[in-house]
Every structure is written in structure tokens, then in C-alpha cells.
Structure 1
Amino acid sequence: MVLGKVRALAVCFDTLNENNLPVFSGGELVSGRIVVDVTGDVRVRSLDVTARGVAKVRWTESRNAGANTAYTQNYTEEVEYLHHRDCLIGEDRDEDGVDEGVTLLHAGLHEFAFSFHLPQMALATSFEGKHGSVRYWVKAELQRPWMLPVKVKKEFVVFEHIDINTPLLLAPQAGSKEKTLCCWFCASGPISLSAKIARKGYTPGDSIQIFAEVENCSSRVVVPKAALYQTQTFFAKGKGKEIQQLVSNLRGEPLAQGKSQSWEGKLLKIPPVSPSILDCPIIRVEYALVVYVDIPGGLNLSLSLPLVIGTIPLHATASRTSSISSHGSASSWGGVAERPEAPPSYSDLAFSEAHRRHCLRGADERHEHEAAPLLAYISEFRYLPPPLYAEVDPYPDPAEACSVLEARTLDTCPSR
């Protein structure tokens, strides 16, 4: 009998996203097929499928002593998130098996289904960095008697979802700094910087609205700028390695001495980047918006605002809440908060006893005829007129009060 050959061995996933990529999240079902293409009869001992997910960190440090290398230290750490193994061929033999423990595959295509659930625990998002990575894959291995095994491995993507619609990530981020330039015995005026953004959480494709105020009282020409940075931190054997990359930036207009500049919602677009990784013990991916003043011949004045890049975009209600909070704080940008309006008196909100009895009597009569819930009668109070507010300002401005009093005095005085 002439035995055939294995023409191809492939892993195919059942679920693909719009970009034809297998993308999953924690707790979801991963399913697919192992496709074996053989040219003739092939004896197979086993077909194993192994799914793994590993976060791995590795880098090397060397110390030189003259022309020789004193020592080389390897830093390696690994965290396993997924390990699933299934035997598709090997335990149950086909009737065509010619030897003990061997299955015979005839010429043609053969498909073997596999499936497993990702753990419900917080998984690290798939990531590729300079000194480490987070990878998930499915590996198929075809064992044949007296021959080398045929192997194939195909990766899939895992996203640990980060919802930016949480109160912590919807909170505005703001800060201010000031710096005075001095050269020997000559000191110039200060350079001040204030910056604010509407929230902390964003998703790729969003635009960050930057509100900033820069005042240059120094003798140099400075330039306000903003940049989005990604910081990758790797941990192994109690030591850390940090890599910082520029993601996006923008530039303002140069400022001469005594000039100031305001950014009223200047937009910085976030390109497609990896989400933040905050829960992995050996790899962290963090983002920060740095608003700074470029000072020629001196250290820059910078202000860092931390960001979180998530996967679940901003909802409409959260967007309105964020815009309201940003506009409310922008009104007091100069440090002068608006004087709050006096609340209405409780006596203005109280209803008359006759009106209350009328509403209750009408509700009881309707309740006897109709089996309607009690919440339906809240509409009785929907169209009540609002309480009357006093036209007198409860917090008068002393200067305006004096001017009004003088005007009234002049009107009442007889003309000379």
C-alpha cells in the first residue's frame, strides 16, 4: 500500500470580526476547525489541539570591563493566562485503523472541530512591545508513526474591555504650573501654564479637546505644544524596564515676551493604538497627555495629564454629562467662580391643601375604575407652574449696589 502525504494542516476560526481577524474577550467561546489535506491514505497516531495565552518579558543587560564583557544578565518573566488541550484523534480509533492506536485518513480534506471557553478572569490584552508581549494562539500537532510531526500555530486577539463610561474615567483632568527663568544674576519674569481636558478615558479615534492658557512674562520666545505619549513598562526579577513612545502631537503659535495664548478646545486626535494594560503583573501600558511650553535654551515647562485608552466608546448620556461638566468648569477658568443662584423657598414649593385633596381624590377615583400603577399619577404634578423667584439679587455686588443707590438719589433730588 502506497501511503499518502499531508499536503496542508490549518487552523480556521469560526468567528471573525469585520477585518477578518479572530477577536475575543474573557469568558467568550472560541471555536474553529482543524483542516487536514492529505494526498492519499495517511496513518495518524494523534491530532492534538493546544490553546495557550502567555504574557512574557525578556531583556538582556551586559556590563563591559574594558574590551571584555564582565557579565551578562538575562531578565525573564512569564505569566500564563490560558492553557487548554484537547485530543481530536487518538483516543477513539476508526474502524479503518490498520495498527493499534493508529487512525487511517483517506485522501481528501478532513475537518475536526474544536472549542473552548476563555477564562472569566481579567485577561491581558494582546500586545507586542520591545521587551515583552502578550500572545494567544491555537496550536495543532499531527503525529504519525515513524515520521516527524506536522505542526501549525495560529494566533488570535484578546481584548480585555475597558469601559470609559465609569465615573473615574469621566472625571475632568486639570493642572497648572509656573516657572521662572534665571541666568546668573539676571532673572526674567515667570512662564505660567494651565491645562484641562474634559475626561480621563478615551478610545482610539477620539479627539482630545485641550483647554489651555499660557502666559509668557520671560524674555524668550516660547512655543506651547501638546503630545500624547505611550509608556511601556516591563517587570522581571524585581527590576523594571521602561520605554516611552510618541503617539501624536500638535503645536501652537510662538509667544513673545508679555504675550499670552489660549486654547479653547484645541483637538488632538488619537490614532489606532493598543488599549491600556493596567492589570498585568509584568507588563503595563499607560498613556499621558503632556501639555508643555518649549523654552529654547532651557528646560521645558510641562504638565502631564494621565489618560486611559479603553475599548468601549463614550455613550451619549455620558457625553452630555462630560460636556456639561467641562463647560461648567470652563466658565470659572480664570479662577473667578460664578456666584450661585439662590434656591427657591420651601414655602413656594408647597401645594395648597385643597389642591392636594383634589389630586388625591381624582387619583382614587381613577384607581377604582382602572388598574393603573401609582407612577402614572405623577403626571398630575408635571405641568404645575414653577415657583416665583425674587427679582432682588440675593448676592448683590457692592459696587453695583452703590451705583444704583446713587442713581436713585440723583433722581429724587430736585433740580437746581
Structure 2
Amino acid sequence: MTHTGKSLDLILVNNQRDGYCPGDVVSGHISLKISEATRVKAINVLLKGYAQVSWMHKRSHCSEERKYLSLSKTLLASTGTQNLILHSGMYKIPFELQLPQSPLVSSFSGKHGHVYYMVQAVLKRPFHENQHVCKDICIINPIDVNMPTLKSPVSKACKKIIGCWIFSSGPISLSVSIDRQGYCNGESIPICALIENCSSRLVVPKAVIYQIQTYTATGKTKIIKQVVASARGNVVPSDCSSRWNGNTLKIPPVIPSILNSDILKVEYLLAVIVQIPGAKDLEVQLPLVISTDGLSSQSFNMSRRSIVDMSLLYPTFTLPDVPEAPPSYAEVVSEEQFKEHRTFSCQPQPDWLLDGPAIAYIQQFRLQPPPSYSEIYPTEH
């Protein structure tokens, strides 16, 4: 007997493309078409789940693998020493496999590793190699964001002095708080922040959500950090302060946090950053745990489909639909500073100053207003 005229297929009846959860039943049937009588030892269905990480470190290869799921069921089998004989025709053999209630690692695909699950049908015949057919499935492990540890407010503060010794200016301080640590896809994070700029420089605050992928193998670690959402605040002039009273940053469709694997983790951070010209940025980082619980069905499906589409393999940047106008001149420079600048620029300058280095001209252009919005985006209103 040959392979000619035999076809094996696997069809999932409740194929949840947006993902199965622990405790769900994976059901379907195996389709077998044969054109002549065939001896069969067994027809099995299996459900497997693995995590694999791999990358090159200098000249060595780092890799690890974990098995997270292994279920099997025999659908047809020979009795004793007699093989089962199937006559020509079309056979549909139904099956059901229930996922365990215990937490599973969510499906994921990243640059240096992935977590994947598959259903496999196996046809065993005497004196022939086994025939296989596989279908990938997506599994989501929901995280309960209503746990007390994730519902508690989180806050942090930091301060920085610009310059050193007699050249130092006043400090720049930043304090940030959010109402909780656990959020769901599609939610907006209300950020409360206070930026106090006692220095002589203009600073710009912004908020960023980072996704951090951590791969571990053979005692080494590989970390990938990428931006999934960001928003920019208004310029904070010298000797001024700015307060965010619940400014929001929306979480885009991303996979939930993966915290229950020892070789692959996916974590999230909310960072509020104060950009300081000519100095290292001032930054506060608050941990986030992102889940798919508590969403509407539409948002839930969107978040699950983002895993199947593999849209997070590379950094994702959130861009505004309409370009934002630059800050107005009044927001950047106070009236007293402008008058002082005009008085300074109108005074005659000695010849020795004009022969000096380029830094002597900085004061002359330091407080020039930015170009008008129409000069940059003439077609936008």
C-alpha cells in the first residue's frame, strides 16, 4: 500500500483565532480520505506547547527550550495484534481536548524567541512512516488586574542639578503618580505629574510606554526595549512649573504581560521623561502590568489578534493623526525675557566681541521666536 490516494487534514470547529484561554475546549475533527483499503495502527490527536529562545552572543549560540503543554488522545486504535482496516472513502473523526485550568504562558513571537501552541493529528500505519498534520492555535493567559497589588497607586519622584560647582543652576524636579499598576488593552492611563524647572534652560516633558522583552538562555540575558505609545507635553520655561492633572496616554493593542516564564518575559514600563538640552534627561519609570481582562468583546478581539498578526516583532511608534503645532512664542519666553533681549540686541557691540568665538553670538539668537505654524505645515489648519 502506498501514500497515493490518502489525504489527512485537521479542522478546528471552534477555531478561536483571537485566542483560547485556560480551561477552554479545543474541538474539531480529523478528515481522512482514502481510495483503497488501508491497515491502520492508530489515529491520535495531540496538543503541544513550547517556548524557545535563541540568539548569537559573540561567537557562541545561546538557546533554551521549555515544554508548557502536552495533551494526547487516541481516537482510533487496533485491538490486540490485529490492525484496524479502513475501507476506501471519507472519514471524519471528531475530537475534544480541554486545556488545563492552570495558568499558561501566552502565545508570543519576538525577535529572539517565541511561545507557540499547536494541535497535531497523527496517522500510524504498519510498515509506513507516520503521517502528521498540524494547526497552530493562539493561547492567551488573562491576568487579573483587580488584584490588590495591581490596584494600588504608584508614585515616584526624582531631582537633578544642572551643571556643577559655581556653574550650577537651580534644580529640575519631577514627581509622577498613577492611580494603579494594572491596566487592560485600550484603556487610557491618567498621569499626574509635577515638573518644576528652577534651572536656566527650557525643558520638554513627555510620557512613553515601553515594552521590554527579556530572553534568558545558558546563563545569559538578551533585552529588547521598544516604544509602543508616546505623548509630548508643553515646554516648561526657566523658573516655571507645569502640572499634569490626569493627562492620559492610551494603551494600544499589545499582548498581555508575560511574567510566568523563566526564559521569556514581556513587561511594560511607563516612563515620564524631562528632556534637558545639553544634559542627561530626567526620567521616572513606573511598572505596568497589561492584561486583556475587563475589555469589551471588540477590544478583546483586537488585542488577541495582535498576537496572531505578529505586529510586535519590531518597534511600534504611535504618531498623531494631525501634526501638532509648535509651542507659541509666549509659552517659551516670558515678556520680561523678551524685553531684556531687545534691549541687549539694540546696544552697540564692541569690535572685540565680533572677533570672538561663535558662542559670542548665541545670545543674539537665543530668544528668537519659532517659525509660524503655517510655515511648517502650510496645508494644515
TM score, norm. by length of structure 2 = 0.71
Q: Which residue of 1 aligns with 2:38?
A: 43
Residue 306 (structure 1) shift: 0.6
Q: Which amino acid aligns with 2:113?
A: G
Which of 1, 13, 28 pairs up with 1:32?
Answer: 28
- Is the counterpart of residue 74 in structure 1 residue 61 in structure 2? yes
Q: Which residue of 1 aligns with 2:14?
A: 15
Q: Which has the larger radius of gyration?
A: 1
Q: Which residue of 1 aligns with 2:86?
A: 104
Greater RCO, 1 or 2 (C-alpha within 8 Å, sep 6+): 2
Contact 1:84–1:116 (CA<8 Å) still a contact in 2? Answer: yes
* Secondary structure of 1:24 counterpart: coil
* Secondary structure of 1:158 counterpart: coil
Relative to structure 1, the CA distance from residue 167 to residue 150 in structure 2 (aligned partners, 3 Å threshold; closer, same or farther) is same
Query: What does 1:15-414 correspond to in 2, within 5 Å?
Result: 15-17=14-16, 21=17, 23-38=19-34, 40-41=35-36, 43=38, 45=40, 46-62=42-58, 72-92=59-79, 101=83, 103-108=85-90, 110-144=91-125, 149-182=130-163, 185-313=166-294
Q: Which amino acid aligns with 1:222?
A: V
* Secondary structure of 1:168 counterpart: helix
Q: Which residue of 2 aligns with 1:355?
A: none
Extract unaligned runs of 5+ from structure 1.
Answer: 63-71, 94-98, 316-416
For residues 103-154 of structure 1, what are the alpha-carbon distances to aligned partners after superposition, in whole Å with 9 as ceiling and x for unaligned?
A: 334233x211222222333211111122221111111233456666542211
Residue 178 (structure 1) shift: 0.9
Q: Percent identity?
A: 40
* Secondary structure of 2:168 counterpart: strand
Q: Which residue of 2 aligns with 1:6?
A: 6
Extract unaligned runs of 5+ from structure 2.
Answer: 297-381
Residue 183 (structure 1) shift: 5.4
Q: Which amino acid aligns with 2:101?
A: Q
Q: Which amino acid aligns with 2:23?
A: G
Q: Which amino acid aligns with 2:69?
A: L
For residues 139-198 of structure 1, what are the alpha-carbon distances to aligned partners after superposition, in whole Å with 9 as ceiling and x for unaligned?
A: 123345666654221111222221111211111111111111105741111111111111
* Secondary structure of 2:294 counterpart: coil
Contact 1:44–1:142 (CA<8 Å) still a contact in 2? Answer: no
Residue 92 (structure 1) shift: 5.0
Relative to structure 1, the CA distance from residue 163 to residue 203 in structure 2 (aligned partners, 3 Å threshold; closer, same or farther) is same
RMSD across aligned positions (CA): 2.6
Q: Distance in 2 between matches of 1:294 and 1:177?
A: 14
Q: Distance in 1 between matches of 2:72 and 2:2?
A: 33
Contact 1:12–1:33 (CA<8 Å) still a contact in 2? Answer: yes
Contact 2:22–2:102 (CA<8 Å) still a contact in 1? Answer: yes
For residues 63-114 of structure 1, what are the alpha-carbon distances to aligned partners after superposition, in whole Å with 9 as ceiling and x for unaligned?
A: xxxxxxxxx3222222212112233334259xxxxx9525334233x21122
Q: Which amino acid aligns with 1:104?
A: L
Q: Which amino acid aligns with 2:123?
A: L
Contact 1:4–1:42 (CA<8 Å) still a contact in 2? Answer: no
Q: Distance in 1 between matches of 2:285 and 2:87?
A: 63
For residues 215-234 of structure 1, what are the alpha-carbon distances to aligned partners after superposition, in whole Å with 9 as ceiling and x for unaligned?
A: 11112211000000011111
Q: Which residue of 1 aligns with 2:345?
A: none
Q: How many residue pairs get matched?
A: 295
Q: Distance in 2 between matches of 1:305 and 1:58?
A: 29
* Secondary structure of 2:236 counterpart: coil
Q: Which amino acid aligns with 2:12?
A: F
Q: Distance in 2 between matches of 1:305 and 1:186?
A: 32
* Secondary structure of 1:161 counterpart: coil
TM score, norm. by length of structure 1 = 0.65
Q: Distance in 2 between matches of 1:11 and 1:185?
A: 76
Q: Distance in 2 between matches of 1:103 and 1:147?
A: 15
Relative to structure 1, the CA distance from residue 296 to residue 42 in structure 2 (aligned partners, 3 Å threshold; closer, same or farther) is farther
* Secondary structure of 1:122 counterpart: coil
Contact 1:195–1:211 (CA<8 Å) still a contact in 2? Answer: yes
